Each structure stands twice: as structure tokens, then as C-alpha cells.
Amino acid sequence: MAMKLAVPAQVDFTEEVAEWIEAFDQIVVDEGPEQAAELIQVLRQRAREAGINTPGEIRTPYLNTIPKHDEVPYPGDRQMERKVEALIRWNAMAMVHGQNKKDAGIGGHISTYSSLATLLEVGFNHFFHAKYGDQPGDFVYFQGHASPGVYARAYLEGRLNDDHLKNFRHELREKPGLSSYPHPWLMPNFWRFPTVSMGIGPLNAIYQARFMRYLENRNLIEKTPRKVWAFVGDGETDEVETLGAISMASREKLDNLVFVVNCNLQRLDGPVRGNKRIIDELEGIFRGAGWNVIKVIWGSDWDALFERDHKGLLLKRMEECVDGEYQAFKAKGGAYVRKEFFGKYPELLELVSDMTDEQLARLHRGGHDSVKVYNAYKRAVEHRGGPTVILAKTVKGYGMGTTEARNAAHQEKKMTDDALTTFVKRFDIPVPEEAAKYGTPYKPADNAPEIQYLHERRKSLGGYMPHREVPEMNFKAPELDYFSEWTAGSKGRAVSTTMGFVSILRHLLKDPKIGKLIVPIVPDEGRTFGLESAIRQVGIYAAEGQKYKPHDVDMLLYYREEQDGQILEEGITEAGSMASFTAAGSAYSNYRVPAIPFYMYYSMFGFQRVGDMVWAFADSRGKGFLMAGTAGRTTMLGEGLQHQDGHSHVLMSAVPTCLSYDPAYVYELAVILQDGVRRMYHENEPVFYYITMYNEDYAMPEMPQTEGVREGIVRGIYKFKNAIKGKSDAHLFGSGPILNEAVRAQQILAEKYGVQTDVWSVTSYNELRREALSVERWNRLHPADAEKTPYIVQALKSAKGPIIAATDYMKAVPDQLSPWLGNRLVTLGTDGFGRSDNREHLRAHFEVNAESIVAATLSKLARDGKFDAKKAQAAFKELNVDTEKIDAARA
């Protein structure tokens, strides 16, 4: 029979615990909270020394961080601010409501702003500085779905008129319209930051705050108290970009950064955390990452209940509930709250026995209480040593009657007549009866007290927001002869275009005029791209300098970090690097500093990871150079499927303001860089560049002195090499390192098969196509005028015969020119997955090597009746081209 182990008797520590608590309470009373906190810290340390594992405290009770007795009085006229907020709420709702009544399905969002209004208004009235003296002010990343509220405020300010509001989401009508969300491209004098693609706003805000410090530490802007405010939805925090970089913010001690998380407990279709509490979760995440966390959960009308609750039952009940229940408490009214929330404990029922159901229903959450919000913001801006996050609890659809706090709130576009009347009463909105009945925008007279108050508050904070401007820049781009060292070729020395670029970059960094404006950005691949010399030259930016002695300090090219370092080496984060590129690329507007960012990265990862951010960069009217290193499907030998890029030029062709180039030689690169600096910073064009670079070494030729070469490089094509002997029978297009394969093919065709060909360097298929489409459109719209000719057709006007285009990218890249080249064009490209091998075998596999170009040329000539078909067939064997192998696109 098995023996039963004795169970140790349980020791009752109740009395002892009570004594400890009593003693601790006495310390708090006698000595103060600081000493009490120090005692707890000492006890924790003693426990660790004794080998006792004490779990870290990553969340605090479900209460406001700032207790009532620590609050400061509200400095504004609360009655006047309530009137202003009520009018903005009305106009935001009326804008969306009215538009959907006359144009069903046009969309728009009411419920997000209804939850956010107080959080924004406290900021607009007391914290958001438009400028500090003559320096730029705070930056605010607005929640994208709350844009109607921002428009409604600008309407009261007189910055937008009735026509604007009537044309919300009508941007293509006869009157000026308003874009759906924050879009600087569409409203370049209003919005600064595109934010509605979830996660991008918070990530960009973090790196914007860091870039602000970078500019300050490099003495490019003055140090001011300016802040970066990011308004974030609680559901948005599920996007990995939102929280992915928060440790960087605390690591860099970005006390110029404030996150305001609008915790209305709902995402688009339901609760964010129905079975948990999102505020608890976020508090733990941010506190664990080293942020200063301020919770604004309960409004002032809860304070009296807390004071009367001597047993702590109210807090106990609050911590028993999950967000799904809190959503129901707001959706189902006061009687439900009395029964389901307070009714669990008789003492709590007694606590609210003197309150009506309507009063219970109106108990405020902290994010709708201006006093609570003001105190949180004040603490945030005064905090030093790190970033702050404010977790503000709100109600989605706040004040919207039957929609309030319900899952459908996000989709609400218009309200019933009864709901409009209720809305007006709920917020005591001073609108005329006619406006209340039909849901039309309303603005009091300019001399109305609330309008004057609104203007006074913004005047005291430096002006109106949001606002974007592009100051005049006295920027002189260097001429092409500035780059003569690189247009002269490498004199037979084998180098890569990447090394050529780094050499140009170092030269730019030394320039006394523009060198300080260069912002090199690299995601932990500086040595891969050969940046060691640049690191030694200008240093890597480190907010606190270099607090250690690097192990390679005795070497010439040691790893040097400086507080005023110029290189942003971001670590292994393409998203973070792209956020830095965005901050730098829009600095010409935001900081009045024409920063010139060069972001170097693996072409395969760089765009695939951050395609949405590249699109937002274009929306931001960003400028700069994306330098895609180790590019190409066959040039990046050995690495294989996940590294070899054959499609980035296809992807980049989708971005309207991106000019993409694939240079083969350093002189082409120099011409493109010079023209890019000129267009973006001298001519002030809102474009940016995507340029592929390679790690293949070969001799760089001198730039041909032929007329039109420079224009051809910039516009996309020029003749690189005439036929070896006599008139050409065909034309070979090449770009990047594959241009060398075309040159080799030209030699084979001439020597072995008596076929003469011209070789053309195609630096940008994308730009050729765009220009051709533009000309085609003009011709279509002007049938009575003489036709214009696309550049690709002009360039090839005397070039007869077939064209064989070989690229290290998908066939879709050259195929863009098919409408203008017809059946003359034969495309060879690298469709399919990459492989781990050397360049020789990779190019044979994808059929873009010289032998494959020769075979394609002979085959096309044979099909056109210009070459003997049997000889062409025999040539395949001579060239070792396997005609029966599987198509690389499917391999």
C-alpha cells in the first residue's frame, strides 16, 4: 500500500501581514511616498540577495497614475473650451453625416474623433506649440480616422470654409475638397504626416523624435522644448510597427516624445481585448521597455466614489472586469451598470444609491475629462530622461446615442434625426435649430466669445496646427564636373558600383557647403557596403557618445561613435531605417534643413519589408536616395532565394514620385546622383530616387563624350557601343552588370556568327515608360496638334532590327516598353526564385548570360528571316544553351 506524504501545515500570516501593512502605511504618512518607495526598493534588493525571486512590477492598479491630491488646477476657461469642443464635435459629425446623405457610401469616420476630441482639444488649447520663437514647433501625428475633427477645428479657425467641408472626400469636384485622411501629397499646406496606414505613424514618430535630437546634437537646429506627439489607437498597437521600436525611444532617452494611446477598447470590428484589459497589457509593455507610463482611466466624477469607498471594493470590482464588460457598461446604459457592475457587492450598490441611472451612465472615463488629461500632459512634457506614454481610456462613438461603445461604431457614417437631436442635447451644442435638424456645419460669428477664445489660445501657442510649409532654400547643386573623378573611369582597376558610390559619398561628406547636410543611413550593414572609411571620417551618431573603448581602436578604421556623429547605423531594422529616411527626407519642410539622406540597404529586404512606408514617404513629399546594395538576382552570388533581388524595380515602378535607376557604371551613377541633387534640392521637386548598386567588381569605363549621353543616362537610355564592324543587324539592351554580358554577347555575335549589333545602356525602363505614357496621353488629348514622339522612339529612330533586352530583374521590367517597340522586343530576365551559386551558373540558369543573349538574338533573326534557322539551332549547342531545361521562372 502506497504511503501518503505528509502535507505541511499551512501557516496563517494574516495578522503578520496586517502588521506589516500598518507599519508601511505609517511610513507613508510620517515620512512621505519617496521614503516609502525607497523602503520597498531596499526590501526587493534584500530579497534578491537572499535568493528569493520577486516578480517585477510591470503593471499598477487599474487607477489613474496621478491621484486627485496631486492634480494642479486647470488653467483654461473650461466652459468656453466645452463650447468650442462641442462645436468641433458637431461639425466633424455633420461633415461625414451630410456627405453620406447626399453621396451614399462615400465613407468617413465619426466615432474615432468622438472618442478623441477632449484629448486633442486639451492639446490644442494648452500644449501643441506651432513654433518656439523663430524655430519650428511641435509635431503632431494625428490618428488618421479622426481627420474630420481636425478639419472641423480648422473650419472654426477660418482656415477652411463651407465649400471645403461640403467637399469632404470630394477632391475631384469644381471646389477645393478635403482628403479622407492626413495626406501631405493631397493637402501640402495642411498635413505634415500620413498616419492612417496603421502602425506607420507611431514608428515614424519615434524616429522623428530621434532625428530631432540628431539635428540638435549636430548643431543643425537650435535646441528647443519642442515635442513629438503621436496619437495612437489601442487597436493599432497590434501592428508590429507600433510597438516594435519603443525600446529604441527609451534607450535614446527621447524625452521629446509623447505617445497618447486612445484606449477606446475597440478596433474596427470588435473589442481590442475582450477577455483582457488592453490598458494593463500596454502598461506592462511600455513600462518594461523603460517608458514613463501615465494612465488616465477614470474621470473626476469617480473621485467622490473612491473617497467614500473605505474598503477598496470599487477598485477590486474594476480589476475583476475585462474590456468586453466595460464596453457593455457603456453600450447598455445606467440600469445595466447598476446591476452588473455595482450590483456584485451590496456595499457598492449602497455607494451609488443616491445616484440616478442617468448619472451612472454618464460617469466619465478619464480621456473625456479635461482636468485629468491636462494633468497627464503636463506631467508628460515635464518628464526628463525618457519618453512618455499616456494610456487614456475613452469611449468609441462617445455621445453618439445607440451607437456608443458598440462594435458597429467604427462603421457609423450618418445619424438619424432623433440621434442628431440627442447629440445636440448631450453636448449642449449651440447650433441653430435648422442646422440641428439637417446635420449641417455651423460656425458662429467671428466675434463670438468661443471663436475669439479659440484664436487667443492658438495665438499664445504660436499659430495654427496642423500646418505645413516649404521655406525658400538657397541651395546650389554641384555641377557635373564636381564628379569628374568618377566620370573618368577606374583606369582598368576592377571596382563595384557600390564602392564607387561610397567614394562619391565620402567626397560629398567633405564638401564645405553641403557635406553637413548629408545623412548616411545603413541598417547594420556598413562594412558590407564598405563604409569603414566613412565611419572613421564622420563617425556613427550615438546620443550619449562612445562610453566604451572599442576593441579595434588601435586600427585606422575603428568603430567610432560620437554624439555629433553623422552616420545613422540603425541596427537590424529596415523599418526603423526607413523611418529615419522619412524624417531626414522631409526635414526640408519640418525643420527648414535640406537634409540629403542616402539610405543603403540590401535591395531584396529593404523594400519588401517596408513597402507601405515607402508609399507614405512619397505621400510626405519626401526627398532622398534609396541606395539598394547587393542588387540583382544573379549578381548577389551565393546567398540564394531570400537574398537575391529580381523584382525591386517592378515594385518601385508603382510609386508615383520614385525615380528608379539601374546604372551599370560609376559614371552613370555620378550623373544620376548629380541630377537627383539638382532636381530635389535646387529645383525643389518632390521626388526621390531608387538606385540599384552591385557588389560585382569590373573595370569602370570613362564616360563617353558622345553628344546626348548625359541626357540619355538621366532619361533612361543611350547607345553605349556601336557595332564592331559596319551596320548593326540587331540591338542589345543591358543594364546593371548585365550590360557587360551584352558587350560580351556583341563580341561573340560578331566573331562567331557575323552578326553586328549595337549595345545600349538602359539606365531606367521605368522612366522611359513614364515619359512615353505622358507623351501618348498628350497626343490622345490633342488630336488636332502634331504628334509628339516619346524619347524611347526618338533614341531608336535610326536603329532598325530586333531588340534583345537582358536584365538582372524580371522580364516585366523591359516589357514595359513593348507598346513602343512592338514585336521587335525580346526580353531576357530573372523571373523565379534565386539560387545559391556563382554568377556564371546563376546567369546561365536564368538565361541572362552572354551566351543566352547570343542565342536569343540568333533565334529572333531567324524568326524574322534574317538568319539561317538551322544555323541558329546549331548555335545553341555551340553556346552550351540547354534548350530542354526547366524554365527558371518555375524551377
Cell of 187: 493637402
Give the range among 238-252, 633-647, 791-805, 816-830 with minimum mean pLDDT.
633-647
- Render pLDDT for 741-790 as a digit per residue (tens, 0 to 9): 999 999 999 999 999 999 999 999 999 999 999 999 999 999 999 999 99
Predicted confidence band of residue 549 (pLDDT cuts 50, 70, 90): confident
CA quadruple 717, 744, 602, 669: dihedral positive or negative? negative
Cell of 614: 515607402
The DSSP secondary structure of 27-89, one letter per residue, reads: HHHHH-HHHHHHHHHHHHHHHHHTT----------SS-SS-GGGPPPP-S-HHHHHHHHHHHH
**Per-residue pLDDT for 400 more than 80?**
no
Give the whole-angstrom CA distance, residue 594 versus residue 688. 13
Q: Tell which residue, 451, 566, 485, has the closest CA to residue 215.
A: 566
Give the whole-angstrom CA distance, residue 558 versus residue 535. 8
Q: What is the mean pLDDT of residues 169-197?
A: 92
Give the whole-angstrom CA distance, residue 715 versus residue 661. 10
- Render pLDDT for 656-670 as a digit per residue (tens, 0 to 9): 999 999 999 999 999
613 three-class SS: helix
- Render pLDDT for 682-733 as a digit per residue (tens, 0 to 9): 999 999 999 999 999 999 999 999 999 999 999 999 999 999 999 999 999 9
Give the whole-angstrom CA distance, residue 102 versus residue 79. 35
Predicted confidence band of residue 17 (pLDDT cuts 50, 70, 90): confident
Predicted confidence band of residue 409 (pLDDT cuts 50, 70, 90): low
Find the distance separating the first CA and the last CA of the chain, reported in whole Å.
Answer: 68
**Per-residue pLDDT for 94 more than 60?**
yes
Predicted confidence band of residue 3 (pLDDT cuts 50, 70, 90): low
The count of residues in the chain is 891
Q: What is the mean pLDDT of residues 60-76?
A: 95
* Paired residues of 461 in beta bridges: none
Q: What is the mean pLDDT of residues 478-484?
A: 95
Give me the numbers of helices (H) and strands (E) for the chain, helices first please: 38, 22
Q: Tell which residue, 521, 680, 621, has the closest CA to residue 194.
A: 621
**Per-residue pLDDT for 844 more than 60?**
yes
Give the whole-angstrom CA distance, residue 423 versus residue 647. 53
Question: What is the structure's pLDDT at 482?
Answer: 96
- Render pLDDT for 853-877 as a digit per residue (tens, 0 to 9): 999 999 999 999 999 999 999 999 9
Number of neighbouring beta carbons within 10 Å of residue 385: 10
Q: Tell which residue, 887, 776, 528, 810, has the closest CA to residue 652.
A: 810
Quick one: three-class SS letters along 341-394? CHHHCHHHHHHCCCCCHHHHHCCCEHHHCHHHHHHHHHHHHHCCCCCEEEEEEC
Q: Which helix (H) or strand (E) holds 827?
A: strand 825-828
Predicted confidence band of residue 415 (pLDDT cuts 50, 70, 90): low
DSSP state of 268: S
DSSP state of 300: G
Give the whole-angstrom CA distance, residue 199 versus residue 576. 12
**Per-residue pLDDT for 56 more than 80?**
no
**Per-residue pLDDT for 107 more than 60?**
yes
- pLDDT, greater one: 30 or 350: 350
Name the CA radius of gyration of the chain, rounded.
Answer: 33
Question: What is the structure's pLDDT at 730?
Answer: 97
Predicted confidence band of residue 629 (pLDDT cuts 50, 70, 90): very high
Give the whole-angstrom CA distance, residue 584 versus residue 586. 5
Cell of 354: 443616491
Kindly report the average pLDDT of the chain as a whole number.
92
Question: What is the structure's pLDDT at 405?
Answer: 60
**Per-residue pLDDT for 797 more than 70?**
yes
**Per-residue pLDDT for 522 more than 60?**
yes
**Per-residue pLDDT for 553 more than 80?**
no
Instruction: Measure Cα distances from 822 to 762, 786, 813, 815, 827 in Å.
Output: 17, 22, 15, 10, 12
Query: Of 30-44, 544-558, 625-639, 848-862, which one has max mean pLDDT?
Result: 848-862
Question: What is the structure's pLDDT at 101?
Answer: 77
**Per-residue pLDDT for 1 more than 60?**
no
Give the range among 256-260, 419-423, 721-725 with minimum mean pLDDT.
419-423
| Alpha-helical regions (H) of 289-322 | 303-308, 313-320
User: For residue 552, how far is the Cα from the chain centroid?
Assistant: 36
**Per-residue pLDDT for 35 more than 60?**
yes
Question: What is the structure's pLDDT at 380?
Answer: 98
